[in-house]
Amino acid sequence: MSEHDTVAALKDVRAGIARAAADYERDPASVTLVAVSKLFPATAILPVLAAGQRVFGENYVKEAGEKWPALRERYPDVELHLIGPLQSNKARDAVQLFDVIETLDRPSLAEALAKEIARLGKAPRLLVQVNTGAEPQKGGVLPADLDGFLEACRSRYGLTVEGLMCIPPADDPPSPHFALLNSMAKRNGLETLSMGMSADYDPAIQLGATHVRIGSAIFGARVPR
Ligand SMILES: *Cc1c(COP(=O)(O)O)cnc(C)c1O
């Protein structure tokens, strides 16, 4: 294995989350760590599972399908989140594999997910991704379209949306994006806020994150595929 001590890094991240929660007078148990294991093999994930981490995020349906069924046999209480863009033609695999899909962002995907949920009799928890920076290359519903989309998810597709997720633009200070996501969730009576990554989970916790998605601070730098 590499020099990187993943278990020590996990402990540091957990301590950082606890410290941020304390700083902002929040219950540390109200912030869930989603350990983002994309592009890392099972050999890198196993020590993190052995250290007690159970909530993981993956970006690619295919990669997750190759890694997680075997890991789940050993750790059946794992909770797996899809945090990368989802093509409608992968909706069936995604519903089968994931406990939470964080990247619902368009009517065609809502329709595909509703169909597979009915067919498989299994419903992942759903978050809507919001493109808070209105970046053309990024997935997510535009802020102005969010309330209408949530209404369509409910009434047209029969989907229960639990919360919102965002990835702020790389070059922006993240806090205004986190504050915007928080206010949009409040306005719509949604409880779950997935925001904050390795570099910015502290302000995300300050602004109400219930889930922080942390990869490189735990697993080290990712090698591009
Ligand atoms: C990769 C990824 C993360 C983790 O990013 P780090 O900076 O490595 O913590 C979080 N969220 C999403 C959507 C990602 O794609």
pLDDT tens for 45-69 read 999 999 999 999 999 999 999 999 9
CA dist list (Å): 33 to 28, 139, 172, 210: 10, 22, 23, 9
Query: What is the mean pLDDT of the segment spanning 36-49?
Result: 97
Among 17, 39, 63, 83, which is best to mutate for testing ligand 1, by the most ligand atoms less than 8 A from CB? Answer: 83
Distance from the alpha carbon of residue 179 to the mean position of ligand 1, in angstroms: 19
Q: What residue ranges line ligand 1, CB within 6 angstroms?
A: 36, 38, 59, 83-84, 167, 197-199, 213-217
- Among residues 173, 195, 214, 211, the alpha carbon closest in space to that of 30 is found at 211
Distance from the alpha carbon of residue 185 to the mean position of ligand 1, in angstroms: 21
Kindly give the pairing relationship between strand 79-82 and strand 100-104: parallel
Would you say residue 1 has pLDDT above 70?
no
Would you say residue 168 has pLDDT above 50?
yes
Would you say residue 224 has pLDDT above 70?
no
Distance CA 213, CA 199 (A): 10
CA dist list (Å): 44 to 7, 39, 71: 10, 10, 12
- Nearest CA, atom 14, ligand 1: 83
What ligand 1 atom has the least distance to the C-alpha of 199? 7
Among 6, 36, 83, which is best to mutate for testing ligand 1, by the most ligand atoms less than 8 A from CB? Answer: 36
Query: What is the mean pLDDT of the segment spanning 137-145?
Result: 97
Would you say residue 220 has pLDDT above 60?
yes
**Residue 225: which pLDDT band, with cuts at 50, 70 and 90?**
low
pTM: 0.97
Mean pLDDT of the chain: 97
What ligand 1 atom has the least distance to the C-alpha of 36? 4
Query: What is the mean pLDDT of the segment spanning 190-218?
Result: 98
The pLDDT score that the predictor gives to residue 223 is 76
